[in-house]
Amino acid sequence: MHQPDQALGGQLRVLVLLLLLRLVVVSQLAPAGSDQERDGHLRVLLVPAGPGAGFAAAAAAAAALAHASAAAAAAAAAAAAAAVAAAVAADQLRVLLLVLLLLLVLVWLLVLLVLLLLLLVVLLPVPAGPAAGLAAAAAAAAALAHASAAAAAAAAAAAADAGPAAAAGAGADAADGQTAR
């Protein structure tokens, strides 16, 4: 995240040093009463080489470097603030999407519940009135009686089938018993 900002600061420093190698530059305020002074602008003048030129160039380079560093620091702070804002926005977006997903799931569950209730209402007959309850009880009793009669008939048929076989088995046991005496 900070690498582009550091590269920008390094490029500004190299640019300032290259400019100082080619020119001797000094920043000073414009003459008093001019439009530039009222606006707070600075102007750049070429200074002829002389005994004070080196000192002036060093002062100008230090001022330009400080200005570039301040600009780079301001850009880095702005980039950091933008990154924090983007991270907060991304977190808020994730939370919002999660809440929307949960709401969607709840809505689908509610729709399924309503469909299940409608299916139950359609499939289950609802008796109407007090006589309907008596009719349902009579139908249940008739079904139970029919099931009991069917079970009794099945038991009688099983006994009828087992009767001759049991009699034959008992006769064989009796014959075996007399033979053994």
Q: Is residue 71 part of a domain?
A: yes
Q: Is residue 31 part of a domain?
A: yes
Q: Is residue 163 part of a domain?
A: no
pLDDT tops 60 at residue 35 = no
Q: Is residue 127 part of a domain?
A: no
Residue 105: pLDDT band with limits 50, 70, 90:
very high
Residues 6+ apart with CB under 8 A from 31: 37
In Å, what is the CA distance from 169 to each residue of 155, 159, 164, 172, 175?
Answer: 20, 14, 8, 5, 10
Amino acid letter for position 89: A
Q: Is residue 32 part of a domain?
A: yes
Residue 153: pLDDT band with limits 50, 70, 90:
confident
pLDDT tops 70 at residue 22 = no
Domain span including residue 52: 3-82
> By mean pLDDT, which of 31-40, 46-55, 65-74 is the weakest?
31-40
Q: Is residue 174 part of a domain?
A: no
Residues 6+ apart with CB under 8 A from 60: 20, 25, 26, 27
Confidence at residue 138, expressed as pLDDT on a 0 to 100 scale:
76
Q: Give dist(CA 139, CA 134) in Å, integer.
A: 9
Q: Record the pTM.
A: 0.29
Confidence at residue 4, expressed as pLDDT on a 0 to 100 scale:
61
> By mean pLDDT, which of 15-19, 99-103, 109-113 is the weakest?
15-19
State the average pLDDT for the chain: 68
Domain total in the chain? 1
pLDDT tops 70 at residue 90 = yes
Q: Is residue 14 part of a domain?
A: yes
